[in-house]
Each structure stands twice: as C-alpha cells, then as structure tokens.
Structure 1
Amino acid sequence: MTLRSGLRSVALLLLGTVPGVIRAQGGASGQIVDRIVAVVGTTPITASQVEEQLALMQSEGQQLPSDSAGRAALRRQILTQMVEDELLVQQAQRDTNLKVTDREVQDQVEQTVQNVRKQFTSGAEFQSQLRAAGFGSEEEWRRWLADNQRRSILRDRLLDELRQKGKLRPIPPSEAQMRTFWEQNRGQQSKRPASVSFRQIVITPKPDSAAKARARQLAESLVVVLRGGADFADVARRFSSDSGSREAGGELGWFRRGRMVKEFEDVAFRMRPGEISGVVETEFGYHVIQVERVQPAEVEARHVLIAPVISAAQLALARRLADSVHDALAGGASFDSLARRYHDPNEPKLADALPASQLPPDYLKAIGKESVPGLKPVIAVAEGTARARFVVLELIRRLPEGEFAFEDVKDRIRDALSQRLAEQHYLDLLRRTTYVDIRL
C-alpha cells in the first residue's frame, strides 16, 4: 500500500499537531536547503515546516488556492498559526505547575505507532515508508512523535488552566464577525446530516430498599477485599455492573471535572494514586474507586459499579406509569406538567436536530424513518439491563440531509468565535513580552 502523504501526514492526522522539526534535503548531497521564516523567542520556524503543513492540508482533502498570490496568503496564515502555537508552548514550559510525564507521552506514542502500523501489510513496507518520509529509523520517528505529543499536551493544559482560572473568558463576537466567519468557511461546511427533533418523558424504574441494601452490602465487602490487596481489574471484571468499563478491568481513563457525576468526581479528585475509596453512592448505584494517576486538573481512575437489581415488579410499575403518561398526553394533558412530575432529571428532555445516525438503537427501532410529528408508542430502552427505562416520545420534526443555513450553525459559530477571540487576546498579551520576528 501507499499512503497519500506518507507516514508524516498519517502521524500528524492522528496527533493533530504541527511538526516541530523538519528537514529539507537537496539532491544526493543531503545538504540542508531550508530557511528561517520566523523566530519566536529563540526558536526558529523554517520554510519546510510551513510547506509540510500545506501538504498536510492537501492530504486531508482541503482545496488549496491554485494561484501564487493565494498560496502565499495561505502560507502566511499557516505561519501565523505556527507562531501562535509556539507562543503557547513556550508559556506552558514557563509554568512550573504544568507537568507532562514521560509515561503519558509514551502511551500516546505507542497508540499512534500501533494505529499507523495497522495501515501496512508488512514490516518491510512500514520501514520503507518511514525512509520515504525522511526518518532514518523507527526510533527517530518515535522521538519526533514524542516531542510533538508533549508540546500538544502542554499547550492544551495551559489553555485548560487559563479557562479554569477565569483568565480566558469568552469574548462575544458581533453579528458581522459571525457572518464573515460563515461566508469565509461555507465552502468547507459538510452536509447537514438527516436529523430528528423530539421531546421525551423518561420513566426510570426505581430499585426497592431491599435491593439497594444488598447492593451497598456487596460494595462494602468489595472495599474490604480490595484494601486487602485483591487485584482491582479482576474484581471489576467479575462484579462490576458497568458494561462500558467492566471488560477493561473498570478502567475509565483520564477525566477532568464535569465529565463524571458530582458525587463520583468529588471523591476521585480528593484521592491519592493507588488509594481505594469507600463506597460512593450515585444515581447509577454504588461505586468503589481506585485512582491510578493524578495530573493538574485531571485524574486517571478505575471503578467497580454495583447497581441495585431492579425487580420485575418495579419494572412493571414503571411500564404502567409510562403507559398512563402516554395516554394522558394523547388525551390533551400538558407535556411540561407531566414532565415536571415524572421525567427522570438525569435524562435530556429535549433533543434538537439530533443526527439520525446518533439515535440510540431502541429509539431507531421504535420510530424508524417515521416523519409525521406527534406522540409515538412507548419505547422500552435497555431492557434486561440495570439501565432499563421507558420513554414517552413526541416527534417534533425530521429533516433530510441538506445544506446548513447560517441560522443552523449560528450558535456554534458564536461559541467557537468567542473562544477564539479570548485566545487571540491572550496571544496578543504574550506577543508583548516575547520576541517575535516574522520574515515571510
């Protein structure tokens, strides 16, 4: 096989970074024929780095200007972005609170290497493409990946820290700015996917007190076993009710505040690496948590979830309630009034323009390609699992695939520009205290 832009572009696409070091060779002599097009602090940016980013954009299918003036303008735009990235990385390196461990960098490198290797049919083909991309060995490529991954993590952590400290507050754009952004980027807009809008009342069966007591008792016994030295992954695979993490030994990966329910993250962010928590109760059941690693503003953790068993009687009760709510709506009752009384607050009440491809399987099975607005039959979701529930759904509209209008994406444009303007303001402050010389 051959990749459209070689291993370098594959790695860049996977990492989402711009390379920090690129070599340009001339003829058989292998002499450097590069030139410096910008300096940030004491760090040079070379013309070949800009050219590689240009080639990467082309490999991703972006339409590039065919005229020399347009190409020159695009090169200046790319260089500006590279200068901004370098400013952020240098500021992150000066912040002693921001750390990136060798292990997390190597974990990302290994994942990238594995993903790239899968695209080749043999080791010889992989090595050949490495050489074609300008790397003398796999080790050299790995070092290049590690450098870029470390820079990417540093940059992202700096921006996250600034947001958390309130130093990167969004700056609302004007209507004119949003319109300009829309017009400049219309050609890059993808098609609007087929979508479904609906509102729903979700009836969730509640475990009885006996089931909750049994679940808590099991969770408490697992705390004792785990604190006694049992392997956490083995215990999770055997006992956890969380189908999404059970087979991975309860592994949840890295997460920041706001990703988990409050009760769970309040405990996780207070724990030390290796520590086993007590029983943590959430809407999902009873958790036992082990934090594996800690970084500023994020933790890596495992958990065992013991969900109370929902009895057949409780399921039947919830089904009868869902049927009653459905009949009341069909008879003209107020949706909002019934939702306030019966809807599970942990579930969304409204789905606005949800891509049809993202409909949960049980929803898709129930409403199929239905396009007539109105009340639909009660949907049984996740039957036979600890997350079983019943949905009373009213279809609002269904739209086929088509072109986005400005109003369709106005809110997203506002959010993106607000953040971009805030970052631009911060970058302007960095430019005042950092030597920047652009020569292109």
Structure 2
Amino acid sequence: MDKRIKIMLFSIVSIVLLIIVIAVTPEIVKYMDENRAVAIVNGEKITKKEFAINYKSQINYYGLDKAFLSQKVGDKTYEQQIKEDILDSLILRQIELQQARKRNITLTSAEKKAIDQQIEQYKSDSQSGAEFKQYLQTIGATENDFKDQVIKSQIISKLYDEVTKSQKASDAEIESYYNSHKSDFVEVKASHILFKVNDSKEETAKKKKAEEVLQMIKSGQSFEKLAQKYSEDETTKQKGGDLGYFRKGQMVKEFEDAAFSLNIGEVSNVVKTSYGFHIIKVADKKQLSLNDVKDEIKSTVESQKKDEYYKSLIEKWKKEAKIKKFENVLKSVSI
C-alpha cells in the first residue's frame, strides 16, 4: 500500500476515534462522577448516584426548595442536616443488606416477579404511569434504579422477620400488659346526633340548632327520635344515631373524650369536632376481658419485643462496622 494512502487512512481513523471520544466523554465523566463514593461501609461503596436519588426523592416528597434548604437549624443548614440524615440511613441500610447476605436472605423469583408486575401495572395506567415517569426524571433515577430500591427494602424486611422470629410473648407478659393498660380495653356503646359544619359561615347557626335539640332531650323527648329527625349523619340517623361499640383510638379525640367521660344513660353537652357539632348518648360501657383481647395483646407485645431486639442488633452491627464518609462528594450533590 502506498505510504501516502496509509497516512491518509491513519488520519481518518484517528479523526473518527477522536469524534467518538469527544461524543462519549460527557457520559464517561458523568458515569465516573455518579460512581464516586459518598461512603464506604465494610469495604462496600455507597455511590453518589444512589445518595442523590434518595436525597432528591425526599426533597421532592416534602416539596422543599433551595430557599428552605439554605436556612439554619442550629449550626447547620437544613440541607446539611438532611444530607447527613439520609447518608446515615443509607449506611444503616448497607449494613442491613450485608447482614442479610451473610444469612443468604434474598428475594425469590416469585417475589421479584411480583415487583415487576407492580411496576408494569403502575406504568400501564395513563395517570399513574405519567406521574411515575415524571417522578423518576425528577429524582434522576431509571426504572432499574427504582426497582433496586424496592428490592433492597424487601430484603431488609425479610431480614427483620428472620432475626426477630424468636421474640415471642409469654402468658405472663400478656397478662401484665393487660393489667397495666386496662383503660385501653374499655368499650363504649354510644349514639349521636350530628349537625354538620361544611363552612365556617354555618357554625353559629349549627351550634344554635344543636343547643336547641339538646334542650329537647333534657325536657324528656326521645334521643332516638330526635336523631332520626335532626341528625345529618346519614349512616346512623335511621338507627337513632347508634354508632355501636367502639374503643379509644377509633373516634376523633374530642368525640372520644366526651363519650368515655359519660356514664351509661348520660347525654353530653354539645361537642365540637372537625365534622361539626354532636350530642352524644352512652348506652353501654364494658371492660373487655383478657381472653377477649389476648390475641391483640400478644401481637402488640411481640411487635414491641421484635422492634427492641432489632434495634439492639442494629446498634451492635453499627459498632462493628468500618465506615468512611466522603464529605466533599456529599457536598457536590444538589437539587
């Protein structure tokens, strides 16, 4: 081959290679930057990209902006504090994933398939699909990044179940819990007459009407008949306002406080809640027995024991872990 032709071909190849390098350089630089470590946990890297996805996800969830993030909380800005909290949570997650790996805890093919199906179902809906796509763009994540987050979350859930399965509630613990929480296991059977307040302009008139109906009750008129006539709770009015039995925590606080303070047969004064104004009558009140609530207490006690035990394991794992943070990389992440 002629020397000049060789030189020409070499030049062409060089130019093509240069064009390719120029074209891919931004992607290479981006890849290298995203894969820098914000922390190393027992020799495993938490990448800048993974941190940024979690950081932007939280910023997006709470609708925070740069003005808010720049404000001070103590000797730090909100941005610094949020970043530190998220990094700590990712470090903890990495430790948990490492502990899961030691115990050969993974997702089954069926569990992974269920995640895929859930994502596909989400994407197939026109509204949620568009929202999902926008969400991924906002936090700088791909669909695979999102899937990876879900998988990790489920593996940690399985780790929790595995290491805490021995934490059981004894009969003595169940009985002790019952005896120290007896007031939580009281049921009240009550009826009410509701005067709904949909607008603040209605408040004065509705309260006045409630007071008038209360006077009718005090004068001896039937609570049940007045409920059928005046109550604006369409679900209960035809039953004379009967709400059935309920326990603490099932009604709004103002209603609950009034109902549990009444004796059987007593009628409350007018009670204001977020729904409007109520007149309440207690028909029955009873203490549930230990046998009535034994399964519920067992679940509560075991849940508490599992949480406490898992927390102690977390503290142990953290103390044993070798952790290195890279503050300069953390600072380079922005919204």
Provide the TM-score with structure 1 as the length reference. 0.35
Kindly name which structure, 1 or 2, has the bigger radius of gyration based on alpha carbons: 2
